[in-house]
Amino acid sequence: MAGLVTLTYSISYAALIFSGDLAPYLSLGVSMALIGAVILGVSVACMSSLPFVIAGPDGNAAALLALIATTIAQELHAQGRTSQIPVTVGCAIALSTILTGILLFILGRLRFGRFIRFIPYPVLGGFLAIVGVLLTQGSFTVMTGRALIFSNLSMLLTRSQVVLWFPGLVLAVGLKFLLPRYQQFWVLPAILLGTTLLIHGGLAGLGIPLDQAIAQGWLFEPFPSTNPLQVWQTLSWQDIAWPKLTGQMGSLLTLFAVVAITILLCATSIEMATEQDMDLDQELRAAGLANAVTGLCGGMVGHLSVSRSLLNRAAGATHPLAGIVAASFCGGMAIFGNRLLSYLPRAVLGGLLLYLGITLLIEWLYEAWFKLSKLDYALIVAIVMVGAKFGFLAGVGVGLMIACFMFALNYSRLRVIRNTLSGLTYQSKFKRSVHEQQRLRERGAEIWIGLVQGYLFFGTAYTLLNQIRQRLNDQTQSPIRFLVLDFRLVSGLDSSAINSFVKLKQIAIAQDVLLIFTTLNPSISNQLASHGSVIREQDEAVQVFADLDRAVEWCEAKILESFHLRRKRFLPLAIHLEDFFTDTRHIRPFMKYLERCRLEAGDMLFAQGEPADALYFLESGQVSLFLTLDDGQSKRLQTSSAGTVLGDVGLYRRAAHRASGVADQPSRLYKLAGTALMQMQTEAPHLAAAFHESIARLLADQVVRATDGVEKLLQ
């Protein structure tokens, strides 16, 4: 059954390509179509990722091949070189099949199949709508010898022409109405066979013999009794007009694009209908090899078919043998039954093409109105109008350009800055004394942090520039001194965006704002340094840090410098504890429970995994916490300076240390052991309560700061 449908489609596509001035050479077209049906059917059945796939010539490719063939034929006919038409057209079809096959195989071999999915949906719809127009026009050429164009309308509406195309129109409408409602595998072949018998019965009832029916345009001229390969042997290879072939290179590349995209659409449709996954790259490789061999044998381009594959599956096919049998049926008819093929009425083949054409037009010019945005629908209409006026390639090209412009416009409207933070809602991992934290809260709004995301090009970079400009000029908010841009979520930077960052640097300098970049990947860093000179060595106006934490730590240090808090002289722990306890009378008795210790740079205070049996007050120096990862690398979690507390969480949780504490420089600390804390609770419960209250206040402040940052990120 699938073989019969493939046979009918193949002949209809041949009739589409070899119509009008090419009608005398239809036997060549049928031969090429059937060669393609056999080789494609066998090859794709054996190499496809699903066992029931049927392949053969395709309507989308046939519509474009018809344009190529018609253009070559018209040019040669105008030059009086009619003897060169059949061999040149046949060679053009074969070469286009070989070229398409090679490019498809390369595409699949490089596993680039997924990139086809990035073609804008309206562009796909636009070129399929153009194919629908071409199939609709070509169907009338098959049925009447005249294309459905405005200049032919008066002739097509005459009685002698209406009787030729009206049965095909009825067949197309019937297929459109019945096939979606009755999806049994035998419906389509039954309708085609029934229509053929009705037309022959009508001709017999009217007393019209076959010769007269052929003369009146109801049937095709009888095909020669030779097999398909022998048809090629009757052509003279010296008659090939090679310049005409090279002049069609643009159309040949367009044919490759059409076939590649159609394979994607067919594979996606089969996946949805069968709920089975297909390997798109494997399908491209299979179609590529099959088309290359088909072209070398003088066949026509094709690929997997949705309707025929689903028909094959509905009939119970679960093995590639079914596809091989269907292809063999086409081969047998080509060799032994080609006389019977000429009995197919023109209205049946033309009606089948008309059904395919109006299906595409209804889907993309009617149903798309209700499914797509009005802007996307307008793009489809624009592609169709340009394609109808200036050609298929021009329509698709204009559609791609408009789609790219629309994408750039829409993408530039997205949030370039994912979140904005400040020094109030985001602090570095550098743990400071209570007094320094108070100062940073007073001036934390001077640090403005923008988490940039996405791919930056001229549109998004300009949006980013405007957002920052508005914030800098906003007099209702605190002035900014540090402008921090984090690029951790930026996927790339186009060279067209560099000018926006050059302008941003100029604005920052003019407003006495320090511009800071963080988490730049090497590519973006090189672009900012080389193209626009945004980043320069020893440039005080722009700073670059490896991560956001280091950048904020640097900004905090700059703010504290303005308060003259970074004292060089030594401060005893008793002074630091004035910020720790609410009542300074607790300081002296509390220090009796502490044990003094010293660390040199590089010394370990405690190791990751050790029991946390003490906490530490850092009197001077600096200690960092490092987490050892599974791969052996270390990651800094926190750095503490004089006046801070370490190990408090571990002690209260009575758990092991989650990280190792290492001195960055010579440091002096006071240790409160767990046993000393228990002794304090026994000997001086009021002092212990005051200590617990101070620790609770410290931890609460940390939780509040962390919560503020999370809330800001969730906005």
Q: What radius of gyration, in Å, describes the C-alpha atoms of the chain?
A: 39
Residue 545, pLDDT above cutoff 90: yes
Residue 381 within any structural domain of the chain? no
Q: Tell me if 323 sits within 8 A of 45, measured CB to CB.
A: yes
For residues 293 and 238, membership in a common domain is answered with: yes
Query: Which CATH number characterizes residue 640's domain?
Result: 2.60.120.10
- Domain end: 346, 375, 404, which one? 375
Task: Tell whether 290 and 365 lie within a shared domain.
Answer: yes
Q: Which domain holds residue 629?
A: 573-714
Q: Between residues 291 and 253, which one has the greater pLDDT?
A: 291
Q: What is the mean pLDDT of the chain?
A: 86
The answer to which of 227-231, 359-363, 457-461 has the lowest mean pLDDT is 227-231
d(CA 705, CA 427): 8
User: Given this model, what pLDDT does residue 397 score?
Assistant: 80
Buried/exposed code over 39-58 (b: 16+ C-beta within 10 A; e: otherwise): bbbbbbbebbbbbbbbbbbb
Residue 144 lies in a domain: yes
User: If you average pLDDT over residues 98-127, what whole number do you get?
Assistant: 84
Residue 230: pLDDT band by 50, 70, 90 thresholds?
low
Q: Say what the pLDDT of residue 229 is.
A: 57
**Domain match, 326 and 347 both:** yes
d(CA 293, CA 26) in angstroms, rounded, equals 22
The model's confidence at residue 458, banded by pLDDT at 50, 70 and 90, is confident
Nearest-5° angle of CA 646, CA 648, CA 649? 120
Residue type, 497: A
Residues 554 and 584 grouped into a single domain: no
Residue 180: burial class (beta carbons within 10 Å; 0-12, 13-18, 19+): exposed
In three-state secondary structure terms, 506 is helix
Enumerate residues 6+ apart whose C-beta is below 8 A from 449. 420, 421, 422, 423, 426, 484, 486, 548, 552
Average pLDDT over residues 162-168: 92
**Beta-sheet pairing, 482-493 with 604-606:** unpaired
Query: Mean pLDDT, to the nearest integer, of 141-147?
Result: 84
Residue 399 in domain = no
Q: Is residue 326 part of a domain?
A: yes
- How far, in Å, CA of 68 to CA of 65, rounded? 5
Q: How far is CA 464 from the centre of its chain?
A: 24
pLDDT digits (tens, 9 = 90+) for 667-686: 999 999 999 999 999 999 99
122 vs 488, which has greater pLDDT?
A: 488
pLDDT recorded at residue 532: 56
Per-residue confidence (pLDDT) for residue 92, from 0 to 100: 92
* % of the chain at pLDDT higher than 70: 92
Select the more confidently predicted residue: 33 or 337.
33
pLDDT value, residue 566: 47
DSSP conformation letters of 379-431: HHHHHHHHHHHH-HHHHHHHHHHHHHHHHHHHHHTS-SEEEEEETTT---SEE
Chain segment 50-62, per-residue pLDDT in tens: 888 889 898 888 8
Residues 474 and 512 in one domain: yes
- 448: domain CATH number is 3.30.750.24
Whether residue 380 contacts residue 365, with contact meaning beta carbons closer than 8 Å, is answered with: yes
Looking at the structure, tell me whether residues 610 and 544 fall in a common domain: no
- Cβ count within 10 A of residue 627: 14
82 with 215, same domain: the answer is yes
Characterize 636-669 residue by residue with b for buried, 16 or more Cβ atoms within 10 angstroms of its Cβ, and e for exposed.
bebbbbbbbbbbbbbbbeeeebebbbbbeeebbb
Q: Of 512, 535, 563, which residue sits at a domain end? A: 563
**Shared domain check, 596 and 686:** yes
Average the pLDDT over 275-291 and give the result. Answer: 90
Q: Are residues 6 and 154 in the same domain?
A: yes
Over 60: is that where the pLDDT of 588 sits? yes
Both 610 and 658 in a single domain?
yes
Task: Say if residue 486's pLDDT is above 60.
Answer: yes
634-650: pLDDT as tens digits: 888 899 999 899 999 88
Does residue 455 surpass a pLDDT of 60? yes
543, 563, 583: which is the final residue of a domain? Answer: 563
Q: Three-state SS for 514?
A: strand
In this prediction, residues 608-626 reach a mean pLDDT of 93
State mean pLDDT over 600-624: 93
Gap between the Cα atoms of 367 and 376, Å rounded:
13
Q: Which of 10-24, 289-303, 593-607 has the lowest mean pLDDT?
A: 10-24
Structural domains in the chain (count): 3
When mean pLDDT is compared across 24-38, 166-180, 238-252, the lowest value belongs to 238-252
Task: Please tell me whether the overall predicted TM-score, pTM, comes out greater than 0.85 for this model.
Answer: no
Per-residue pLDDT band at 233 (split at 50, 70, 90) = low
How far is residue 633 from each of residues 512, 630, 640, 661, measured CA to CA in Å? 39, 7, 21, 15
Predicted local distance difference test score (pLDDT) of residue 597: 94
DSSP-based three-state secondary structure for 631: coil
CA 478 to chain centre: 41
